[in-house]
Amino acid sequence: MRNFIKNVLANIVAILILLMVIFGFFILMIFASAINGEQKPSIKKNSVLVLNFKNPILDSYTEAESSIFDLGDTKNVLLTDVLNAIQKAKTDENIKGISIEVDELQAGTTQADNIRDAIEDFKKSGKFVYAYGNNMSQKSYYLATIADKVFLNPVGMIELKGMSTEVTFFKDFADKYGVGIDIIRHGKFKAAVEPFMRNEISPENKEQLSTLLNDIWGNISNKIKTARKLDENSFKTAVDSLYGYIPEQAIKSKLADQLVQKSEYYNFIKKNLKIDTDKDFNQISIGKYINTLDNKNNDNNEIAVLYASGEIFNGDEYSNIHSDKYVKYIKDLADDDNVKAVVLRVNSPGGSGNASDEILFELQQLKKKKPLIVSFGDYAASGGYYISMAADKIYSEPNTLTGSIGVFGMITNFKELANRNGIRSDIVSTNANSQFYSPISGAAPGTIPMLTKSVESTYKRFVYFVTQNRKKSFEQIDAIGGGRVWSGTRAKELGLVDELGSIQQAINFAASKAKLKDFNVQNYPAKMSKFEEFFKNTQEEEIAAKVISKKIGKENYTIFEKVTNPKFNNGVQMSLPYKITIK
């Protein structure tokens, strides 16, 4: 009896200690968040704004990857905050110039464009902009070329090599291991399913990829050539010959201006600031400078920027674009009298056709109450383009992957794999297609014909909404649809978007449409609290996903999800086949 009581008391004490630890952890998080929230950096005179992006630049906090061990605010920064900070620095008497010090820019192509344009506008103030690199990625170099001078470490390099994309195919793998994949698609350019049905890039996909890459690289290379004052032949030779990888050759090819160590680069800045080389100069990072911003103007006149970032799913989760969440966001914005106009910022390759349709309907209802302007980020393809069809006006970046007007369905089964390993199933049913689908026995006889009809019906609905928004005939849209992806530049020529422009231009147009001169810009969805992040990150699925992603890499995990995640095998999909990154 005594031992029993001792064991009970020991368990009670253990539980109490655990509860105290958890409670203490929550208190620590709140304390750290409070300290971070209260601290507002001061800007010293004669300062230099340092662009040293060490963490990803996000369109929305829904893209952030957080850990339960993060205390205070994470270091991810929003694109709009970066742009606002550079704009403020232009007229800030304490800021004398900008130093770009980033070797690996973790940002999308259009985000790099936006930051580059903001710095170009900053230069109109007459303040200096210098850039320094050790081993600059191609995207970092693209950003750096807007500087007055580009400095490179004597043993550094510039990764300037042009653009390419690689498509991985799994047909032989699936055949070898007995994985059956049933595919239905509309559109010969709808290449999302090609990796599971071919062993090489189709002529149609090769055509669209080549056009897309050349459009994007044309936009980027023209800006680099103009900034560095290089002619076409010299630039092409430098890129094809990989001259940027050899420091001396990079200088000789005019890709950079000087080879210097970091301390020598700082001495160059000090000279410009008229400071002795043996003294320090005032630096403020872009992250700290953002914390000095005060964007509040008029709480009664609000332009809401609703970020639709990531893939589109059914459900009620915070990350990506889950239809239940976004329907609520949209309804709240529609009913909020302080919100005078909404800018939908789309950065999505699409996803579930059903979820996309739900979101489009609610956006159409919102549009009846107030202006709805759409701004495209890196991706506005398939379902991402579909939800944009409620817009009064669409702004696209020149390098946005746009369109992909097409749909597909895919069902994976493991019948042969199971049979090879002694696993079989038998079915008892009441009707011909009661067993619609099983991972062991595959699809019922009527499943594929019915899915084919569903895909065709969804495609016609997709094209219908595009014809209504773009004021074109079914034949006109079908001719440029078929799942084909276009650059923003080409999309403007084809009439798939209205204007080429940034998110700021979309915001300004929304304000003019709502007849506002004085307004406040508010971002949605709001950032999660530390408590919400904690519980989100302790969910079993979240932990498992992060472990697998870390083990096999993010790109491979994306492919893994396409086959294994039921969200991707649930109904007709409006999804982009790939992601293109500048490396």
- List, in sequence order, every residue forming a beta bridge with 185; answer none if it has no partner: 408
Burial code (b: 16+ CB inside 10 Å, e: under 16) for 199-236 equals eebeebbeebbeebbebbbebbbebbbebbebeeebbe
Q: In this structure, are residues 527 and 61 in contact, taking their beta carbons and an 8 Å threshold?
A: yes
Rounded Cα distance between 90 and 117, Å, is 13
**Which of 382, 388, 487, 575 is flagged as catalytic?**
382
Determine the Cα angle at 101 with ends 100 and 104, to 5°.
115
CB neighbourhood size of 55 (10 A): 13
For 7, the 3-state DSSP assignment is: helix
CB neighbourhood size of 301 (10 A): 18
Rounded Cα distance between 504 and 506, Å, is 5
Read out DSSP for 451-502? HHHHHHHHHHHHHHHHHHHHT--HHHHHHH-TT-EEEHHHHHHHTSSSEE--
Can you list the positions of beta strands (E) in 52-116? 57-58, 77-78, 95-100
Measured distance between the N- and C-terminal CA atoms of the chain, rounded to whole angstroms: 70
Rounded Cα distance between 363 and 390, Å, is 6
Q: Which helix (H) or strand (E) holds 363?
A: helix 353-367
Half-sphere exposure of 452 (CA within 13 A, CB side): 8
254 in active site: no
Q: In this structure, are residues 53 and 102 in contact, taking their beta carbons and an 8 Å threshold?
A: yes
Q: Which helix (H) or strand (E) holds 215?
A: helix 203-228
The token pair at 302 is 């609000």
Amino acid (1-letter code) at residue 280: D
Rounded Cα distance between 70 and 61, Å, is 15
The token pair at 551 is 């083990």
SS (H, E, C) 227-278: HHCCCHHHHHHHHHCCHHHCHHHHHHCCCCCEECCHHHHHHHHHHHHCCCCC
Q: In this structure, are residues 131 and 81 in contact, taking their beta carbons and an 8 Å threshold?
A: no
Looking only at the bridges linking them, the beta strands covering 499-500 and 393-396 are: parallel
Q: Residues near 274 by Cβ (< 8 Å), separated by ≥ 6?
A: none
270 in active site: no
Q: Residues near 487 by Cβ (< 8 Å), separated by ≥ 6?
A: 211, 212, 215, 216, 219, 398, 399, 400, 401, 402
Rounded Cα distance between 79 and 69, Å, is 25
Rounded Cα distance between 412 and 162, Å, is 36
Place of tokens 């649809």: 481
**Which of 90, 96, 139, 190 is flagged as catalytic?**
190
Active site residues: 190, 382
